[in-house]
Amino acid sequence: MAKKQEVTKKSKKSNLKVSERGKVYVSATFNNTLVTITTEAGETISWSSSGAAGFKGARKSTPFAATTAMEAAARKALDKGLKTVDVFIKGPGAGRDAALRAIKSAGLSITMIADITPIPHNGPRAEKKRRV
């Protein structure tokens, strides 16, 4: 018989040095809203998503789900000492505006808002015309 292998868990980075300033990245797709809060150097402090907040299916893409996800991530970041943030929003989803309001209501102050949605400059070759 094979020997039983011990499973070891990785310890989380709980001793991360957090200054008062940070960055918030919101990716609002048509199906979900992803939120990541980082230090100015780019090290992740906390993250959440509509799915991680407990929403499934079509309810993940609602503004309320985005608000809930943002509040969860912001609460973790506030506990670690974050106070002011720069916000970077990407995507066309319904959670864009709701996530911004949730940042304010959680107690973080916003210094800058930037839309970093990727826009194609000409893009790939178009499909050939359909002949009927």
Average pLDDT, the chain: 91
DSSP code at position 50: T
Say what the pLDDT of residue 47 is. 97
- What radius of gyration do the chain's Cα atoms show? 19
Do 36 and 22 contact (CB within 8 A), yes or no? no
Q: What 3-state class would DSSP assign to 10?
A: coil
Say what the pLDDT of residue 11 is. 58
Say what the pLDDT of residue 12 is. 59
Say what the pLDDT of residue 18 is. 81
Q: What is the pLDDT of residues 27-47, one digit of tens each?
A: 999 999 999 999 999 999 999
**Alpha-carbon span 51 to 32, nearest angstrom:** 7
pTM, two decimals, is 0.82
User: What's the start-to-end Cα distance of the chain, in Å?
Assistant: 66
Options 3.40.50.1980, 3.30.2230.10, 3.30.420.80, 3.40.50.300; which CATH number does 21-115 get?
3.30.420.80
Partnered with residue 85 across adjacent β-strands are 22, 110
Q: Which residues of the chain have pLDDT under 70?
A: 1-4, 7-15
| Helix residue spans in 16-127 (DSSP H) | 63-79, 95-106
